[in-house]
């Protein structure tokens, strides 16, 4: 247990990070593609015309929740709580719009782009981090009941 972080799971976090890095490396080396989820999802939905075949994009997109459900089933899952469906949907739409405007999401920029030292990805990731820190600060100041 880490001081100040009673629910921290550093070994699980390390393992998850290694698996994400391995998956990104395999995608780049095996398919020659960046494992940016927003770009792959756009390809699956027909919004983007370039990249992998649509069937492969759909397999990737469907594999994300199926993989998460499989791990939850094997490990017994975690207890999660959300502010509600409306804030969750609004947040998802805002993230999707931001990913399109920013030409990528945290997986494409933060995992793949930073590892390639892409200047655009370094700036995008710094922006993601700053926005996340500001959001946490505002939520801590206002309290989570604001979204209820």
Contact criterion met (CB below 8 Å) for 52 and 33 = yes
**In this structure, is residue 64 part of a structural domain?**
no
For position 132, what pLDDT does the model report? 87
Q: Please report, rounded to a whole number, the percentage of residues in the chain having pLDDT higher than 70.
A: 93
Q: In total, how many domains does the chain have?
A: 1
Summarize the chain as % helix, strand, coil (round to 5).
70, 0, 25
The Cα 97–Cα 120 span in angstroms is 18
Which range marks the domain in which residue 91 is found?
80-147
In this model, does residue 2 exceed pLDDT 60? no
Listed range (1-10, 27-36, 71-80, 107-116) with the worst mean pLDDT: 1-10
Say if 66 falls within a structural domain. no
Note whether residue 8 is domain-resident: no
100-141 pLDDT, tens digit each: 888 888 888 888 888 889 899 999 999 989 988 998 888 888
Per residue in 86-95, is it b (16+ CB within 10 Å) or e — as a string? eeeeeeeeee
For residue 98, is it within any domain?
Answer: yes
> Whole-prediction pTM value?
0.68
- Give the HSE-up count for residue 4: Cα atoms under 13 Å, Cβ half-sphere: 0
Look up residue 111 and give its DSSP letter.
I
């Amino acid at each position: 247990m880490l001081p100040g972080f009673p629910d921290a799971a550093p070994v699980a976090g390390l393992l998850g990070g290694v698996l994400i890095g391995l998956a990104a490396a395999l995608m780049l080396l095996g398919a020659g593609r960046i494992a940016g989820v927003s770009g792959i999802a756009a390809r699956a939905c027909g919004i983007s015309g370039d990249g992998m075949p649509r069937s492969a994009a759909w397999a990737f997109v469907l594999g994300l929740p199926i993989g998460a459900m499989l791990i939850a089933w094997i490990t017994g899952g975690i207890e999660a709580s959300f502010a509600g469906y409306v804030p969750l949907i609004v947040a998802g739409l805002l993230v999707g719009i931001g990913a399109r405007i920013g030409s990528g999401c945290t997986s494409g920029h933060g995992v793949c782009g930073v590892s390639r030292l892409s200047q655009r990805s370094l700036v995008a990731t710094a922006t993601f981090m700053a926005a996340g820190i500001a959001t946490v600060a505002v939520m801590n100041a206002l309290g989570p009941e604001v979204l209820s």
